[in-house]
Amino acid sequence: MTAELPAQTDVVIVGGGLAGLAAARRLHRAGTPWLLVEAAERLGGRVGTDSVDGYLIDRGFQVVNTGYPRLSALVDLTPLRLGLFTQGVMVRRGETLHRMAHPLRDPFGAARTVLTGLADAAGVGRLAHTGNVGRVAGGALADVPRISSVGRAGDRLRLAALAARCASYPAGRLLAAPETSTEAALRRAGLSDRIVEELLRPFLSGVFGERELSTSSHVFAMIVRSFARGRIGLPAAGIAALPEAVAAPLPESLIVLGVGATSLRPGLVRTSAGAVRCRAVLVATDPATASVLLPSLGRVRMNALTTYYHSTVEPPLEEPIPLLDGDRRELVANTVVVSRAAPSYAPAGRHLVATSVAGPTAPPEPLVRAELARLYGRPVDDWEHLTTVPVPEALPAALPPQGRLRKPVALGEGLFVAGDHRGSPSAQGALASGWRAAGAINRYLEG
């Protein structure tokens, strides 16, 4: 059935991802007439979930960060029933799994370690964390030995100081600091080569979608800020519940699915279902489409992320904590038992493991599986490979200079643009840019 479009409205929003939806929320609140056209048959853009044989398969592993200010301003997170991940990460180095606590919650704690080698030999390489002691599955409680740590002496305190600065300084102060690559900022903060390679590069590669850490230090500071201030988790119904929650207060009659904008000029949007006249146009598509509809924007370089989803009966870790590769193998960015955080992600009796790889090349699954055996320190031959989700255009590559992470949203003549390429490359950046663009549109229409 062809969608019926009105001949005219005040604002046409092109794209129903987080940016377009946040803009619609602000226009709606102000009483500005608007219409949103979305090319796909669902809202959410890069944030989506497929339900497959009892598993919730997000379209690439991504998390809700409760520390995102625009998110908490727009959405009551309680009904999402977030399954939270443990704060901190585990790091595999050789035979040892190291627990790295959240730097602000436990700045003085040495990495707690658990020797898994012996347990692995016995085929019981799982562990659970209970304060300062670890439980090796099938064995008795044992004091966790401090065998070695991740990084060098002093790194943890420097990391804690960095996180404390990012959490407590006003955002404006962080964004006024000299801007470099993230790699240069880590060196400037006095962090050793070891902590960068064993912890920060694998961790950040999963966040940025690139291993070089060429992403702007301003983006890095804001990401650290939200990790330091908030918790990460997954909605019980899958990550798609996030855009659904942003869209919930909006009237369905103003949102048209399955209709893409084909071209536009000031005052007119042509779509696959006809043309709509308007006073302002907001392009809130993915960056590649935005640069086609608005050629003056130019192409935005994108970073890629690929997620491998496996199903297993025995969870390789007893708790929902991301596991990083501290052995510099440069393949897996992180792996996590998502069903430990949100049990609804897997059917009864099964667990879902999501493994992220950063970069344009998605390695073959058997290669990833071999890495998983090493990382978790146990055989994974019986794991079922459910699917691989490559997202070649996952996140804008936010190289310096990004300035104050507020690229212009008003392009003149009633044309506006929003999306994660106008702010930080994240859900927060997308939401904030949409909110900002709608504010600019309201002012334009009043003027």
Ligand X SMILES: Cc1cc2nc3c(=O)[nH]c(=O)nc-3n(C[C@H](O)[C@H](O)[C@H](O)COP(=O)(O)OP(=O)(O)OC[C@H]3O[C@@H](n4cnc5c(N)ncnc54)[C@H](O)[C@@H]3O)c2cc1C
Query: In the complex, what is the shortest distance from the CB of residue 44 to ligand X, in angstroms, rounded to a whole number?
Result: 6
Query: In the complex, what is the shortest distance from the CB of residue 286 to ligand X, in angstroms, rounded to a whole number?
Result: 4
Q: 44 is written with which tokens?
A: 């959410």
Number of Cβ within 10 Å of residue 401's Cβ equals 9
The rounded radius of gyration (Å) of the Cα atoms in the chain is 23
Query: In the complex, what is the shortest distance from the CB of residue 391 to ligand X, in angstroms, rounded to a whole number?
Result: 4
Q: Which residue has the tokens 């990401």?
A: 223
Rounded distance between C-alpha atoms, residue 359 and residue 307, angstroms = 11
Nearer to ligand X, 23 or 174 (CB): 23
Q: How many angstroms separate the most distant Cα atoms in the chain?
A: 73
Alpha carbon separation from 11 to 26, 266, 314, 389 (Å, rounded): 12, 11, 52, 35
Nearer to ligand X, 120 or 420 (CB): 420
Rounded distance between C-alpha atoms, residue 170 and residue 163, angstroms = 13
Q: Following DSSP, what letter does each residue of 256-316 receive, concatenated?
A: EET--EEEEETTEEEETTEEEE-SEEEE-S-HHHHHHHSGGG----EEEEEEEEEEESS-S
Q: Following DSSP, what letter does each residue of 184-218 receive, concatenated?
A: HHHHHTT--HHHIIIIIHHHHHHHHS-SS--SBHH
Find out whether 141 and 133 touch, Cβ atoms under 8 Å: yes
Q: 179 is written with which tokens?
A: 């801007």
Nearer to ligand X, 96 or 307 (CB): 307
Residues that bind ligand X (CB under 6 A): 14-20, 37-40, 45-47, 60, 62-63, 65, 260-261, 284-286, 289, 305, 391, 394-395, 419-420, 425-428, 430
Query: In the complex, what is the shortest distance from the CB of residue 190 to ligand X, in angstroms, rounded to a whole number?
Result: 27
Query: In the complex, what is the shortest distance from the CB of residue 59 to ligand X, in angstroms, rounded to a whole number?
Result: 7
Nearer to ligand X, 127 or 256 (CB): 256
Nearer to ligand X, 298 or 349 (CB): 298
Nearer to ligand X, 304 or 380 (CB): 304
For 229, phi then psi, to 5°, come to -90, -25
Query: In the complex, what is the shortest distance from the CB of residue 163 to ligand X, in angstroms, rounded to a whole number?
Result: 18
Rounded distance between C-alpha atoms, residue 416 and residue 65, angstroms = 27
Find out whether 26 and 230 touch, Cβ atoms under 8 Å: no
Nearer to ligand X, 40 or 236 (CB): 40
Nearer to ligand X, 62 or 96 (CB): 62
Nearer to ligand X, 18 or 332 (CB): 18
Rounded distance between C-alpha atoms, residue 184 and residue 191, angstroms = 10
Query: In the complex, what is the shortest distance from the CB of residue 20 to ligand X, in angstroms, rounded to a whole number?
Result: 6
Query: In the complex, what is the shortest distance from the CB of residue 224 to ligand X, in angstroms, rounded to a whole number?
Result: 13
Query: In the complex, what is the shortest distance from the CB of residue 21 to ligand X, in angstroms, rounded to a whole number?
Result: 7
